[in-house]
Amino acid sequence: MSIKGIFPIDQWDFESESILADLPSGDLELLMARKSEQLYKKGEIIFREGAFPAGIFYIVNGKAKKYKVDGEGREQIIYVANTGELLGYHAILSGDNYPDSAAVLEESLITFIPREDFLDAIKQSDVLNRRLLKTLSHEFAVLANSLTMFAQRSVRERLALQLIVIREKYKVDFEPGQPVEINMGRDDLASLVGTARENVVRMLSEFKEEGVVTTKGRKIIVLDVKKLIKIANYR
């Protein structure tokens, strides 16, 4: 029972299709000519805000967060990237340094593609070019959506919404029909929702009392997606 349709998740998630999926083999070879693979341990940082973008990263397997840290050290998660997604290309295209940091949420296998190879591939490949324009403009719409949510929704509504969205990302790790376990630390969940850890925990207990979610250790299992949609107050 997918929630697409009743809840247009495309509006909340960048990855309606991957940038590299089904790329003409020549273009892909060019891109991957000098790649290097690395296994990141949980919590390891992929790149840091402000650093020179030496290349882009492809998540072969795992999950990563894109985030910003403000003056007081508070972390704000912009996006959670999943297996198959690309990281770090915005900076190379814009000509700025990395505008945000990225770190791995669980043990992840990640491919590094040098800056020059990425730029060459863009020059060569019309498909990649179109794909990037399409992805970037879609990402913009998704982010504008998030912005509106942060500006107008209550913490309770935001938590409900993020649980729906994040559940979809953990779904791929479970057999269809099996309960999806969201294995995310409360601090990360809080910085995704834009509030303090304590508030997330308190509202999770409320959701538990209301029969919307349950927990298994630190893992969160959504019992009633429709109720969550109602709480999120999404038209």
Contacts with a copy of itself by CB under 8 A lie at 11, 68, 70-71, 74, 76, 78, 89-91, 93-96, 99-100, 122, 129, 132-134, 136-141, 143-148, 150-152, 194, 233-235
Is 171 a binding residue for DNA by CB under 7 A? The answer is no
Start-to-end CA distance of the chain, whole Å, equals 20
Among 35, 123, 218, 230, binds DNA (CB under 7 A): 218
Closest distance of CB 104 from a copy of itself, Å: 19
Residue 86, strand partner residues: 58
* Residue 36 CB partners (closer than 8 Å, separation 6+): 111, 112
Among 44, 215, 221, 229, binds DNA (CB under 7 A): 215
Helix (H) or strand (E) holding 102: strand 101-104
Is 154 a binding residue for DNA by CB under 7 A? The answer is yes
201: partner contacted, choices a copy of itself, DNA, none (Cβ within 5-8 A by kind): DNA
* Residue 139 CB partners (closer than 8 Å, separation 6+): 14
**Of 150 and 174, CB closest to a copy of itself:** 150
Is 111 a binding residue for DNA by CB under 7 A? The answer is no
**Of 95 and 217, CB closest to DNA:** 217
Is 210 a binding residue for DNA by CB under 7 A? The answer is no
Among 33, 123, 201, 211, binds DNA (CB under 7 A): 201
Long-range contacts of 22-26, Cβ-Cβ distance < 8 Å, separation of 24 or more: 23/125, 23/127, 23/128, 23/131, 24/125, 24/127
Among 10, 37, 116, 198, binds DNA (CB under 7 A): 198
Closest distance of CB 90 from a copy of itself, Å: 4
Residue 209: φ, ψ to 5°: -60, -35
Dihedral of CA atoms 164, 168, 170, 171 in degrees, nearest 10, equals 120
Residue 72, strand partner residues: none
Is 141 a binding residue for DNA by CB under 7 A? The answer is no
Is 69 a binding residue for DNA by CB under 7 A? The answer is no
Q: How far is CA 86 from CA 48, 102, 139, 165, in A?
A: 16, 11, 12, 19
What Rg, from alpha-carbon coordinates, does the chain have?
A: 18
Binding residues (CB under 7 A) for DNA: these are 154-156, 185-187, 194-199, 201-202, 204-205, 215, 217-219
